Structure 1
Amino acid sequence: MENHKLFDNTEVAFQLKSDTELERAHFLFKMISIEPLVKIGTAVTNFAIKAHLPVEGLIRSTVFDHFCGGVSEDDCLDIIERMYDKGVSSVLDFSVEGKETEDHFDAAMEKTLKIIRFAAEKDSMPIAVFKPTGFGRFYLYQKKGEGKSFTSQEQTEWDRVVARYDAVCKLAKEKDVEVLIDAEESWMQDAADDLVTDMMRKYNTDVTIVYNTLQMYRHDRMEFLRKQHEMAIKEGFTLGYKIVRGAYMEKENDRALDKGYPSPICESKQATDINFNEAAKYILDNLSEISLFVGTHNEESSYMVMDIMKEKGVANNDNRVWFGQLFGMSDNISFNLANLGYNVAKYVPFGPVKDVMPYLIRRAEENTSVAGQTGRELMLIKREKERRKLK
């Protein structure tokens, strides 16, 4: 437990930020902390983009540059290498959302394949990522998950979704790049889970390449994890899981209420925290069969994982345990963990400014809804500004 002041070290946390960047971060988190302002800002930004007003430059120099690596892979290289110098790896995340045509799905697959090839050449990028709905229509996942039969046209379309997953996981295996597959809304997740499990069965035969995502605000995920574990042991493949708390809570609760079924979401934040920690413990107890990527901005959960690793004699840099945070957030966790030799990866969103805006807006809204997150960021930034003044 002796490490429990580790994340207070602001000198390590903000070592890559210039005074100007620190000022910008301070300004942004201050804005985000005023909730109605986020709503106004979101509306204004959306309007400006739709009306083609010249906001791109403004967005680029503020929100975008703080939370995104750049507009293209090459554009991200500078920050990727600078972070890697400090021991923090990068997961390039092409954050263009809401496209629903076959061309877009193929383009997203090509982009992911390109990132895997790109990552294979760079020690700084051991992991790639994609979203299920980046590779196929939400409706198809939902219909399949509900056990309804496809029309022949839908079946052909679904076969293409499967082929996209397979192409990406196959290349990832060849290049030894781990691939994280994000989780989305519960009513499409069953089909995505089955598909990702098929990929694990096929490609996680000697080392863990394919990772699914468990959103632990869902109260059924522990049972899912245990069942998957039993099956993997029986069939002789390994599992990889990124565990996160979850990103679609309001949507989930609203839909459950609207359609009159019990919400899949834990009844409280505390229940979610307990569930999240239980999943981490379970995986750490079974590291020989399950690899773990802890996607969290929660300091207590991070300390807990560190304590268990120490207890079990798991080396800080054991490849079966990774910590992950989003670029532009929780640098106090990322850089201080990396400083002690833990495996840490930042999710680095990138893409054309206007295409990435929906993602950024969701992040800002999420930040306002996570109690204490923005306040903690602000406090640490202020503390670092003070420290630099006294130098």
Structure 2
Amino acid sequence: MPTIVQRATTTKPVSFEDTSIAFSSQSNGKLRKTYWLFALMNRGWLVNLGTFFIKLAFKLQLPVKKLIKRTIFEQFCGGETIRDCEKTIQRLQAGRVGTILDYSVEGEDSEVSFDETVLEILRTIERASESNDIPFCVFKITGIASTELLEKAQAGDTLTDEEQAAYERVRQRVDTLCRRASERNIRIFIDAEESWIQDTIDQLAYEMMDRYNHQHCIVYNTYQLYRSDSLENLKKSVACARSKGYYLGAKLVRGAYIEKERIRAHEGEYLDPIHHTKAETDRDFNEAIDFCLSNRDLVSICLGTHNEYSCQYCIHLMQEHRIAPNDPHIWFAQLLGMSDNISYNLAHAGYNVAKYVPYGPVEAVMPYLFRRADENKAIAGQTSREFLLVKKELQRRKGCQVS
């Protein structure tokens, strides 16, 4: 990876209300399209209805792909292939925002598909090594391993010889990706998943860190702070890294599986691992930022968040610790198509920012898109916030009228 060129430091305040910066890369036509998309997504009942009919259309093999590709897919995905994503990569880079190519194919569960996914993620690593515009790569363990196998391993059940061989192949796949990332000097995220397989994922992540993070931080684990035990797990993992002499990469997120976690806990009659309130999650997330910055001699972090307060909180701590905005060990990340007011204004102020850019065949990334729709409904005011910001920018631009 080419040497990171640090920009001049700045202490000027960051406003997430500046829509002229947030939407500077979007034409009037593109912005109007975004406006109407969020206007529709702002209605929960319509999202539910649309999700149902899209699933039905694919099941019946109706010709809806073109419509989806020109609307929700275009908003939240970079394309169907890495090459398709190039325009998005260049557009983001023009706004000083990096790209995190996220191969978002889901639902495949065979050894052949797992190996194919590894090859695709290797391609993202190779593409990232070519220039500074892709600062991170990422993968999900369930993209290269059977969920059932991961769950059985976490439960401590005895694996059959065949299962043990399959698990060794999982470890080899993870090592293949992290080793290539290390060879190319590319940082790589291991995404967090459901609690019933997360311990297994953590074990693999720390094994890779101990193997590849002794010189500098390559492998990052993901901490879902909506879990009541995550903050303590983060602290323990930092202590372990310090004792073993490797750097720890931490991507901090709030969490994406709250409904599945609550339903399973209720049905399984075990303690719900998720915080009871959002305030508790917010508290732990911000405490995690504080803890990581206090251990910045060892810890590199990426804040994967759309929460404006948490971003401002991190900015405040960085200024308090006299940390330059472009410090290479501190990044902010948001999803493509969302929270441009955060991403572009942070980047404009000199902070390190990247967007998750999902890609893959339209049919295969639909589960990802459905989750985006559900998350927008679940996060109080999120879609309304996006909608109002776009509306504000359209009204600011001369000659743009919206109803």
- Shorter-chain TM-score above 0.5: yes
Aligned counterparts of 1:357 and 1:4: Cα–Cα separation in 2: 38
- Is the Cα–Cα contact under 8 Å of residues 85 and 359 in structure 2 kept in the other structure? yes
Q: Which residue pairs with 1:255 in the alignment?
A: 264
1:127 maps to 2:132: no
Say which SS state the counterpart of residue 323 (structure 1) adopts: strand
Match for residue 327 of structure 1? 336
The superposition leaves residues 186-209 of structure 1 with CA deviations (integer Å, 9 ceiling, x where unpaired) of 001001100100000000011100
Residue 31 of structure 2 corresponds to which residue in structure 1?
22
Once superposed, what is the RMSD of the aligned Cα atoms?
1.1
Q: Within 2, Cα distance between the matches of 1:175 and 1:315?
A: 26
The reply to whether residue 285 of structure 1 matches residue 294 of structure 2 is yes
**Aligned residue number for residue 272 of structure 1:** 281
Letter in 2 for 1:154: E
For 1:5 and 1:35, the matched residues in 2 are separated by: 32
Structure 1 length-normalised TM: 0.98
Aligned residue identity for 1:320: H
Equivalent residue letter for 2:273: P
Equivalent of 2:327 in 298, 318, 343: 318
Whether 1:170 aligns to 2:190 is no
**Corresponding letter in the other structure for 1:281:** D
Alignment of 1:349-364 (within 5 A): 349-364=358-373
Instruction: State how far apart, in whole Å, the 2-side matches of 1:245 and 1:163 are.
Output: 29
DSSP 3-state at the match of 2:70? helix
Q: Distance in 1 between matches of 2:292 and 2:393?
A: 35
Alignment of 1:197-236 (within 5 A): 197-236=206-245
1:256–1:3 distance in 2 versus 1, CA, 3 Å: farther
* Cα deviation, residue 122, structure 1: 2.0
Which residue among 337, 346, 350 is the counterpart of 1:341? 350
- 1:116 counterpart = 2:121: no
Spell out, residue by residue over 1:349-378, the C-alpha distance to the aligned partner (whole angstroms, 9 max, x if none). 011111111110111111111011111111
Q: Shift in Å at residue 4 of structure 1?
A: 6.2
What is the identity, as a one-letter code, of the residue corresponding to 2:78?
A: G
The letter for the 1-side match of 2:373 is: A
Once the two structures are TM-superposed, the CA of residue 5 in structure 1 deviates from its matched residue by: 6.0
The aligned length equals 390
What is the distance in 2 between the residues matched to 1:204 and 1:186?
A: 25
The corresponding residue for 2:7 is: none
For 2:297 and 2:14, the matched residues in 1 are separated by: 30
**Equivalent in the alignment of 1:179:** 188
In 2: Cα distance, 1:5 partner to 1:129 partner: 28
Matched letter for residue 187 of structure 1: W
- Please give the residue correspondences for 1:3-42 in structure 2 after superposition, counting only pairs within 5 Å: 6-42=15-51
5 Å-filtered alignment, 1:61-76, equals 61-76=70-85
Secondary structure class of the residue paired with 2:397: helix
- Is 1:58 paired with 2:67? yes
In 2, the alpha carbon distance for the partners of 1:204 and 1:77 equals 30
Over residues 213-253 of structure 1, what are the superposed CA-to-partner deviations in whole Å (9 max), with x where a residue is unaligned?
00000000111111111111111001001110000001101
1:298 to 287, 307, 322: 307
CA distance in 1 between partners of 2:309 and 2:224 (Å): 18
Question: 351, 359, 368: which is aligned to 2:377?
Answer: 368
Cα distance in 2, alignment partners of residues 254 and 216 from structure 1 = 19
For residue 137 of structure 2, give the secondary structure of its aligned residue in structure 1: strand
Where does residue 55 of structure 2 map in the other structure? 46
The Cα of 1:300 is off from its aligned counterpart by 0.2
**Aligned partners of 1:79, 1:330: CA distance in 2, in Å?**
16
Q: Is residue 156 of structure 1 aligned with residue 165 of structure 2?
A: yes
CA distance in 2, matches of 1:259, 1:123: 46
Q: Which runs of 5+ in 2 are unaligned?
A: 1-10
The amino acid across from 1:156 in the alignment is A
Displacement, 1:301? 0.2
Which one-letter code corresponds to 1:66 in the other structure?
Q
Contact 1:9 1:336 in 2 (8 A): yes
Larger relative helix fraction: 1
Q: Which amino acid aligns with 1:150?
A: L
Q: Which amino acid aligns with 2:150?
A: Y
Letter in structure 2 aligned against 1:305 = C
SS at match of 2:112: helix
**Counterpart of 2:390?**
381
Contact (CA 8 Å) 2:95, 2:348: kept in 1 or not?
yes
Identity of aligned residues (%): 45
Deviations 1:86-129 (Å, cap 9, x if unpaired)? Answer: 10000000111121100111011111111101110021012100
Conserved in 1, the CA contact under 8 Å of 2:78 and 2:359? yes
Counterparts of 1:320 and 1:4 in 2: how far apart (Å)? 21
Contact map agreement 1:3 1:303 (CA 8 A) in 2: no
Q: Distance in 1 between matches of 2:187 and 2:260?
A: 30
Asked whether 1:80 is paired with 2:111, we answer: no
TM-score, normalising length from structure 2? 0.95
Conservation of the 8 A alpha-carbon contact between 2:89 and 2:99? yes
2: CA distance, partners of 1:298 / 1:133: 27
The whole-number CA distance in structure 2 between the counterparts of 1:54 and 1:266 is 42
Whether the 8 Å contact between 1:108 and 1:134 is mirrored in structure 2 is yes
The answer (yes or no) to whether the contact 1:4–1:303 under 8 Å persists in 2 is: no
- What letter corresponds to residue 288 of structure 1 in structure 2? D
